[in-house]
Structure 1
Amino acid sequence: MEVVFVFPKFQLNLTEKRERRLILTLSFLLPALIMTVYFASRHMAPFGNSSLLTVDLGQQYVDFYAYFRHCLLHDPSGIFYTFQKALGGEMFGIWTYYLLSPFNLILLFFPDHVITSGILVITVLKYGAAGFTFAWLLIKTGVQRHWTVLGFATSYAMMGWMIANQLNLMWLDAVVILPLIVLGLLRLINGQGCRTYIFWLAALLIINYYMAYMVCLFAILFFIYEAISQYQNRPALLKQTGRFIGSSLLAAGIACVTLLPTWYSLSLSKSQYTVTDVKFKFEYFPFKMLAKLFLGGFNFSQMPKGMPNLFIGSVVLVGVIAFFVRTDIKSRRRWMALIISLVLLLSLCFQPLDLLWHAMQFPIWYPYRFSFVVSFWLIWLAANALKADFVPDPAQILIMVVVGAVAIIYVWVNLKSFSFLSQNQVMIGGLFYVAAICLVALPQKQAFFYQVIFSLFIIAEMTSNMVTSLNHITYVSQTEYGNYEQVMTKEVAGVTSKHKGLYRMTPTFMRTKNDPLTGQFNGGSVFSSTLEKTMPTFMGNIGQPDGDGFVAYTNGTELTDSLLDFRYLINQDSVLTGSTSATGLTQSGLPTVSTRADLADYQKIKEDGTVATYKNPNALSMGFISSSKVLSLKNTTADPTRYQANLFASLTGNQKDQHLFTAENFNNVLFSNVKQQTKLTGAFLQKANLLKPGSVTLTFKPTSNDSYYLTMGADMDEDNVTVLLNGKTLSQYPTYRHTIVVNIANHDKGKTVKIQLNFKKSTLWLQNFTLYKFNNSEFKSSLKTLQAHPLNVTHHPQRSITGTVTAPHNNATLMTTIPYSKGWHVTVDGHPVTAKKAADTFLALNLSKGTHTIHISYWPPLFNLGLAISLICLAGCGSLYLWRRRQH
């Protein structure tokens, strides 16, 4: 007996134009409302005391957004340069990677302490915009025309990649713009004009060059697919190829105003870490990707090292299979689609292709960042296959069933390999897949009710995946962020409002390494993908925590504080204890990351509750007359105390300054369940009984009130040992790769100082573990030489400095602690001069005897050239458009 499904003959009484508008509106509203409801249910600001801040969004981007607000509202010169980035650095690279999204303008309406609400609004709008642009693509190309558009648009807007990467807000613009680029590409191939393609590709290149690079690679593949699928003759193909190449170059030319300065910025930072040793291997067994097609296939462990996020829903998966089994689709198009699909899927697991998509650099966290184009491709194929005229025959249904069964069985058998999946998720995924086959097999797809059910099915599955996935993630509370921001801002404002001038300050506590950007002060820390490589190198040399993309000025000495003009230090006098959250923030809201006993030598100028501000009386100006020996100084030691002494001696020209730090012995060493060693520095310690705790206790009595410092190598991090100072856990930033310097005593003459090392593993390498005494009186005596002729700064917006200095003799060296860059342009008494590089890090000048007016201004290298190329390309586009209008 034949079963016939008859849907009610209800149809909305809408004209085609009104129906299209309603579908487009709902394609925006549905993803946006679904995400808003979910965020509200999680009590995320402004709906409660939680927030969207997690991982890099909470530790990096939110501070850039705060800086974005301050620049546009108060000081636009900060777009190019700021001293709030580490010791100072260009900002154009940060703007072109993180901040040029038009959506960010919404943040101007949200003050810093509630900026998390603005971030939520932007996130929701980007979800909605992605749904809208994909719906626009489907309707404009006629691939889907009616209410099924809602389902495909929601699948695209809420695909697994979007859910996993919503915290990387700056990447989401690529998902929004990709459908518009593809629409422009299709029009270009079909001879309907190049404007759409050029405009949107140029826009994405300007908004985020990194994701645009991936879209450009995909555009090449998509062009090959469409051009060959439509192939008629060689002249037509050559004409299409010429239009594609020319339009792509024109779009890149329009974007040169940002691309060229950014390229220069990257040449000093990110490109320094490009991988050249490529291994031809699979990164994992390719079939493991099947696990990511199941509902909820994402958790926190997938962020640092995981597989590509490919969830697109069961209906779309059935649609992809349908594309390849539909005999009414030309075989050439199906074969080309298969080739492109294999290239994309191979890119997700074969290392050389993976590296190519990531511009020859392995991602630090968030692997397979380009997988959004793979998801787009699969959804696009499904939308082309699941049209109203398609009703699969029994053979096609059998293929869909077999393919799905193989995937389900493989994942079920290997379930232990996938920490992000449970048996329930696999079973639910299987049920959704079976239901999707049944839905696709139904006839009468033109019926309104069928199209609504079709879309609702997809929306329900995509929502389920979103809820399951995001429920695995923890977030920073609004209180944690807002309270900390207000405390920091208030304390900084209390200093800067009374003490004008150009100087640096640093807190001994930290929420993120980008605190200076939020707090609006010149600090010494930053976390950015575009950090110049010279900065981590210098910071590592002087004993500060550093990495490829960050520096943290948390281990200053009296020497580095003074030399680098850290004039004010903000300290949490009474350390509030509290448990640490998933974000690393203590319940006190002020996590201490620095031990500074030497604050006893500084002047307390302000106290507000548990927070106090100290003034460094020995701080130098950011520029001062020094010995010319600093121009040729090279680092030849891995000992930060020796490098600090050598740097200081090269500035003063006094050889005895090289002996400011002297090694000291501990008075007593007690080994507890640890095999004894006679020499500590560099010793390899081992527990006697592996099942019992092991520790080493060291004590000493300072013979003077000078500062005492302890150096510790990278192997002595929190993973291997807990360090107690006088019975309390040593406050220290946890991540460092070079030897650090820790201040453990000051004004403690005759007192017993105890250091206890508690093993976390069976062995411990006391790498560069040495106690040093700092000669405070000798340091202050030599410092007077550098204090004698300072650069008196009279004007200092973000990207320029004006001041006067008196050189005591000819060929004098004006040393600054401004990081050297070719972007600096220097005039002395109105005449341009060439800057020099001191200590491989800082800007310096040669001066003749007398008083001089110094003006230093920053302008991004290649910006003018990029601007000129952009204007020429824009003029060319305009001229071409006007000429064609006249022709028509």
Structure 2
Amino acid sequence: MQIQEQKKSVGFETFFKYTVLFLGMSLAIFSVFFIQGKTFIWQNDGFHQHYPFFREYLTILRNFFQTGQWQSWDWNIGLGADTLVSYGYYVVGDPFVYLALLFPKGSEEFAFHVVMLVRIWCVGASFLFYARKMNLSHRGALMGSLMYAFSHPVIYNVVRHPFFIHPMIFFPLLCLGIEKVFKKESGIFFTLMVAISAASNFYFFYMLTWMVLLYALVRYFSLEKGKSWKSFLKWFAYFVGLYLIGLLIASGIFIPLVYGFINASRSPGSPPISLFVYPLRYYGLLVINSLTPGTIFWTIGGLSIVSIFSLPFLIRHRKQRAGLFWTLVALGVMLLFPIFGSFMNGMSGPYNRFSFIVPFYMALATIYFMENIQDLTNSDVTWIRRLMIAYSVLYISATLITNDYILYLTPVILGWAIYGAVNYTQNNKLAKVSFQRILTVFVLLNMTANAIIFYAPFGKNAVSGTENYGTIDDTYSKVFNGVEQNLPTDSQYRIGVTSHNNHVRNQYAYINKPGTNSYASLTNGAVAEFAQFLEASSYQIIQPLRNGIDDRRIVNQSLGVKYILTERKYADYLPSDYTINPELSVVDSDMIVAETENEAPFAYVETNGLSHAEAQKLHPVQREQLLTDAVILEDDSKANLATPAEFSELDIYEGQWREAEHIRGQENLSLNEPMEITVDEANSQITLTFDRPEELIGQEAFIYFENIEFTPPKASFGKDTSTAYRLKVDYNNQSKGVLQSDRYTFSSYFKRENILIHLNEVEEAEDALTVTFQNAGDYSFENVSVVSRPFDEEQATHEAQIKKEHALEIDSFTDEQIEGSVEVSEEGMLVTNIPYTKGWQAYVDGQKVPAEKVNIGFVGVPISAGEHTIEFVYQTPFLKVGVAMSIFGLIALAGYELIYRRYLQKSSE
């Protein structure tokens, strides 16, 4: 890929002009946000993850610099979580986040945007550093840097995932490190870039590893033609050594994050689609999106039309630029088959996020075309004209179908203008230097237009999906309208919400109150197992305990949820045993505070136990009851506890399904038997009539759909068949829906085998329950049942009192350390509300004892009869090991570089 050195090479002038043009283009592009009063913060992940994590991490850093104390654990992330793991996926290894420390506290939102602009500038700057090493011309590198910095993967991720931009910065620099090694220069730069990339984000580091390997192999065989395999193996070993040392240097962050990822709730599994062919729609959009801003399966297009012009020229000169040609061919093939997308995505769903690499190579191809315009032949011009005609027909057709004139006609107009300049130059009527300047201007206009069309209301209006500037901190801090400030601060408890408070996600850190929910890409896998064990209908992969855990009383109380905060209109969704506290609620506000006296203590001793395997055999409602009656032990637990005498029996109800319009197959169907129906129209309803509805009064009721199979109607030709469906149930003043996500939403997809919906305590006899099928299709249920358990307030109070009598008396409670004492009359298990992770170490009477996983997802400690002092101490798993490996890596780098390079140079002579 090395291009002949030009008279004017990349230097200070190139960087200066790039910076000036960058500022001008940024002003034109991002003025859309200023005019609209919008931020770069997406209303989904941006609002719920990226910005709040950015802000909270800065708070942790500032506190560290002020006190010297690092906060390893935060009780306000979900049920409590490791800060390095929780924030590491987004911000810990992001070198740009640390620039925000230059801004005063309270200006985080402004700093977030400045940091984003710095990221974008660095994308183009990294390309220029690479271009200088490759002896590309000043004009070619300038044009290429603009194509790369404002390519659609960058523009798209400005408002989607900021850290997705990082690999576009690191890849040219990694390639630069490879070039330095091939030129017999130091390998230190390559190693340090490996370290920075690995520490920044392990997910993209995986992709970068394979892309860098491809680059290095292509470059080696381009530069070292005719060399022996022995020589190749020496070079390969040298690079592997440098790579591994870079990984060692990054281990202080990399190793704990990998541990967190392995033990997170996000378990990819095998993709639920064919790995050999995408839906037909994908291939059409792959072409459509190539020159217009768009994405499908994270294959991001929006290239400059100039880059398409370079392809015929590159194909004809492929022998001179074989490496570049075959790399683009390989990338093209990878985009055609899902198996490559799955492999690059860690063998999960085929999201083609590796396509961020395509603009880099297309920029190089365009530079090659620009610098060798004098070699253009009539045949090349003919093929360029044919491409323009094909794209013109395609985009004009798209314009007629969609009426989106700006989106599809802009590249056509620019393309024909550029074609005119090419044709004019080819006829020797325009000097090469003039052509290069004109081409750069067209690239500038093209990339600016693409970005504005993507953001602006008259285009794809991506700006409408972002938050209003100056509102985010206020929105987060006022999630409960300040009512949480009325709660006591002298005890350990959690606050919860109802099933209708989906907007409450990561706000607990803002209000400094421990809750139950979090929304993060890396969430404790043990907590996810707990939610799945209980078959919580609200469960999602990155939100295991969301939406009040479907208002289930025992789960909330077992987690220490003393207060539930919600809007007054959702008072009917409060779990049994939670009553509105008028003194804590705000009279002139819609927010209310409900309280229970029967929440479980933070830690207590339980003497009854049941193995995980035996507990799994129970109905999910009985499993929830176990949280009151016993402790659930792992199958390999060494604890010797008594088995509960009996399990509470569930009441099972009888009823019939009424015939319903637009639903076939429901005739003569009853509860407690298989059910197979065809729903012809979306939002069709079927009603269940109970035989003896009065028997439900005073019961906590549930409806349970078991072994669900759903087959959607066949889609019309060229359209995807969505496998998503939602069931909504209305009964007892409750309206609750459960979503099965579509199989193509790979990040959040998991198949729901069963759906359990809590209908709360029934106060009045209602004979009808309505199920709404919000999606048409064929539904099959192995069984549909309505079950209940009685709610006895005195019994609930008695059970809670027993736990409190055996509770750990806490003397000291901080983020990473808990101390207390407990006295028990017989052997038992100290059950805590601490989410299970190997980072928590337990000490009984000063002696370290192995902690166990109990109740599926929490920390427990076997304890003997008597009086004991207990201490729990937290340290991020593998952090010390990782830091030691980092230090060793820095030492190893110097010795490896000195010894191996000498050996390599000597053997090459």
Question: Is this a same-fold pair by TM over 0.5?
Answer: yes
TM-score by length of 2: 0.81
Q: 380, 383, 397: which one pairs with 1:399?
A: 383
Give 1:368's aligned residue: 352
Going from structure 1 to structure 2, the CA distance change for 1:612 and 1:143 (only over 3 Å counts) comes to: same
Amino acid at match of 1:156: Y
SS in 2 for 1:531: coil
Going from structure 1 to structure 2, the CA distance change for 1:209 and 1:200 (only over 3 Å counts) comes to: same
Q: Distance in 1 between matches of 2:523 and 2:356?
A: 27
Amino acid at match of 1:192: E
Task: Indicate whether 1:247 and 2:266 are aligned.
Answer: no
Amino acid at match of 2:558: L
Please report how far the alpha carbon of residue 169 of structure 1 lies from its aligned counterpart in structure 2 after TM superposition. Answer: 1.1
Q: 337, 341, 350: which one pairs with 2:324?
A: 337
Give 1:469's aligned residue: 454
Going from structure 1 to structure 2, the CA distance change for 1:348 and 1:561 (only over 3 Å counts) comes to: same
Please report how far the alpha carbon of residue 461 of structure 1 lies from its aligned counterpart in structure 2 after TM superposition. Answer: 0.9
User: After superposition, where does 1:177-196 map in structure 2 within 5 Å?
Assistant: 177-196=170-189
Task: Indicate whether 1:851 and 2:836 are aligned.
Answer: no
Q: 784, 790, 793: which one pairs with 1:774?
A: 790
Q: Distance in 1 between matches of 2:303 and 2:200?
A: 26
Give 2:415's aligned residue: 433
Amino acid at match of 2:264: S
Going from structure 1 to structure 2, the CA distance change for 1:237 and 1:761 (only over 3 Å counts) comes to: closer
Task: Indicate whether 1:598 and 2:596 are aligned.
Answer: no
Percent sequence identity is 15
Please report how far the alpha carbon of residue 98 of structure 1 lies from its aligned counterpart in structure 2 after TM superposition. Answer: 1.1
User: After superposition, where does 1:584-595 map in structure 2 within 5 Å?
Assistant: 595=573
Task: Indicate whether 1:67 and 2:56 are aligned.
Answer: yes
Task: Indicate whether 1:315 and 2:309 are aligned.
Answer: no
Amino acid at match of 1:817: N
Asked whether the equivalents of residues 492 and 521 of structure 1 are also in contact (C-alpha less than 8 Å), the reply is no
1:202-227 C-alpha deviation (Å, 9 max, x unpaired): 11110111112111111111111211
Asked whether the equivalents of residues 604 and 615 of structure 1 are also in contact (C-alpha less than 8 Å), the reply is no
Asked whether the equivalents of residues 93 and 530 of structure 1 are also in contact (C-alpha less than 8 Å), the reply is yes
SS in 2 for 1:821: coil
SS in 2 for 1:561: helix
Give 1:23's aligned residue: 17
Asked whether the equivalents of residues 18 and 145 of structure 2 are also in contact (C-alpha less than 8 Å), the reply is no
1:270-326 C-alpha deviation (Å, 9 max, x unpaired): 67434389966132569646524554342xxx5xx5461132201122234333334
Q: Distance in 2 between matches of 1:452 and 1:658?
A: 81
Q: Distance in 1 between matches of 2:403 and 2:238?
A: 46
Moved more, 842-851 or 751-760: 751-760
Asked whether the equivalents of residues 624 and 789 of structure 1 are also in contact (C-alpha less than 8 Å), the reply is yes
Q: Distance in 2 between matches of 1:80 and 1:800?
A: 11
SS in 2 for 1:814: strand
SS in 2 for 1:370: helix
Going from structure 1 to structure 2, the CA distance change for 1:97 and 1:720 (only over 3 Å counts) comes to: closer
Asked whether the equivalents of residues 484 and 511 of structure 1 are also in contact (C-alpha less than 8 Å), the reply is no
Please report how far the alpha carbon of residue 378 of structure 1 lies from its aligned counterpart in structure 2 after TM superposition. Answer: 1.7
Give 2:745's aligned residue: none
Give 1:9's aligned residue: none
Task: Indicate whether 1:499 and 2:489 are aligned.
Answer: yes
Give 1:680's aligned residue: 671
Please report how far the alpha carbon of residue 450 of structure 1 lies from its aligned counterpart in structure 2 after TM superposition. Answer: 4.7
Give 1:618's aligned residue: 598
Q: 509, 512, 520: which one pairs with 2:512?
A: 520
Q: 88, 104, 123: which one pairs with 2:116?
A: 123
Q: 20, 36, 39: which one pairs with 1:42?
A: 36
Moved more, 196-205 or 631-640: 631-640
SS in 1 for 2:594: strand
Going from structure 1 to structure 2, the CA distance change for 1:490 and 1:653 (only over 3 Å counts) comes to: farther
Please report how far the alpha carbon of residue 422 of structure 1 lies from its aligned counterpart in structure 2 after TM superposition. Answer: 5.3
Alpha carbon RMSD of aligned pairs, Å? 4.1
Aligned pairs, number = 832
Please report how far the alpha carbon of residue 35 of structure 1 lies from its aligned counterpart in structure 2 after TM superposition. Answer: 3.7
Please report how far the alpha carbon of residue 621 of structure 1 lies from its aligned counterpart in structure 2 after TM superposition. Answer: 1.3
Q: Distance in 2 between matches of 1:424 and 1:17?
A: 37
Q: Distance in 2 between matches of 1:760 and 1:93?
A: 38
Going from structure 1 to structure 2, the CA distance change for 1:439 and 1:681 (only over 3 Å counts) comes to: farther
User: After superposition, where does 1:702-721 map in structure 2 within 5 Å?
Assistant: 706=698, 708-713=700-705, 719-721=725-727
SS in 1 for 2:254: helix
Q: Distance in 1 between matches of 2:810 and 2:604?
A: 11
TM-score by length of 1: 0.83
SS in 1 for 2:576: helix
Task: Indicate whether 1:454 and 2:443 are aligned.
Answer: no
Q: Distance in 2 between matches of 1:360 and 1:597?
A: 41
User: After superposition, where does 1:794-809 map in structure 2 within 5 Å?
Assistant: 794-809=811-826
Please report how far the alpha carbon of residue 163 of structure 1 lies from its aligned counterpart in structure 2 after TM superposition. Answer: 2.6
Asked whether the equivalents of residues 567 and 592 of structure 2 are also in contact (C-alpha less than 8 Å), the reply is yes
1:139-169 C-alpha deviation (Å, 9 max, x unpaired): 34321314x5333212111212223333111
Please report how far the alpha carbon of residue 676 of structure 1 lies from its aligned counterpart in structure 2 after TM superposition. Answer: 5.8
Give 2:893's aligned residue: 877
Please report how far the alpha carbon of residue 561 of structure 1 lies from its aligned counterpart in structure 2 after TM superposition. Answer: 2.1
Give 1:573's aligned residue: 568
Please report how far the alpha carbon of residue 610 of structure 1 lies from its aligned counterpart in structure 2 after TM superposition. Answer: 0.9
Asked whether the equivalents of residues 534 and 621 of structure 2 are also in contact (C-alpha less than 8 Å), the reply is yes
Asked whether the equivalents of residues 649 and 656 of structure 1 are also in contact (C-alpha less than 8 Å), the reply is no
User: After superposition, where does 1:614-763 map in structure 2 within 5 Å?
Assistant: 614-630=594-610, 634-637=614-617, 639-651=619-631, 655=644, 658-659=647-648, 662-663=651-652, 673=661, 677=668, 679-681=670-672, 684=675, 694-696=685-687, 706=698, 708-713=700-705, 719-725=725-731, 730=735, 737=752, 738-745=754-761, 748=763, 755-758=769-772, 760=774
Amino acid at match of 1:439: A
1:701-753 C-alpha deviation (Å, 9 max, x unpaired): 76798453333448799955544446x6725675694433424336x3x6768
SS in 1 for 2:38: coil
Moved more, 594-603 or 565-574: 594-603
Q: Distance in 1 between matches of 2:862 and 2:628?
A: 19
Going from structure 1 to structure 2, the CA distance change for 1:322 and 1:875 (only over 3 Å counts) comes to: same
Q: 799, 804, 809: which one pairs with 1:792?
A: 809
Q: Distance in 2 between matches of 1:691 and 1:624?
A: 49
Q: Distance in 2 between matches of 1:630 and 1:729?
A: 33
Going from structure 1 to structure 2, the CA distance change for 1:475 and 1:21 (only over 3 Å counts) comes to: closer
Asked whether the equivalents of residues 580 and 593 of structure 2 are also in contact (C-alpha less than 8 Å), the reply is no
Going from structure 1 to structure 2, the CA distance change for 1:606 and 1:769 (only over 3 Å counts) comes to: farther
Please report how far the alpha carbon of residue 372 of structure 1 lies from its aligned counterpart in structure 2 after TM superposition. Answer: 0.7
Q: Which runs of 5+ in 2 are unaligned?
A: 1-7, 632-640, 711-723, 742-751
Asked whether the equivalents of residues 722 and 760 of structure 1 are also in contact (C-alpha less than 8 Å), the reply is yes
Q: Distance in 2 between matches of 1:419 and 1:522?
A: 52
Give 2:166's aligned residue: 173
Q: Distance in 2 between matches of 1:236 and 1:86?
A: 54
Give 2:713's aligned residue: none
Amino acid at match of 1:371: S
SS in 2 for 1:550: coil
Going from structure 1 to structure 2, the CA distance change for 1:689 and 1:837 (only over 3 Å counts) comes to: closer
Task: Indicate whether 1:282 and 2:277 are aligned.
Answer: yes
1:468-523 C-alpha deviation (Å, 9 max, x unpaired): 22342342543874553232266375156x32333211122231533334443322
Please report how far the alpha carbon of residue 239 of structure 1 lies from its aligned counterpart in structure 2 after TM superposition. Answer: 5.0
Moved more, 176-185 or 523-532: 523-532
Please report how far the alpha carbon of residue 257 of structure 1 lies from its aligned counterpart in structure 2 after TM superposition. Answer: 1.6
Moved more, 354-363 or 220-229: 354-363
Q: Distance in 2 between matches of 1:196 and 1:362?
A: 34
Give 1:814's aligned residue: 830
Going from structure 1 to structure 2, the CA distance change for 1:558 and 1:33 (only over 3 Å counts) comes to: same
Q: Distance in 2 between matches of 1:350 and 1:32?
A: 35
Q: Distance in 2 between matches of 1:104 and 1:291?
A: 36
Amino acid at match of 1:55: N
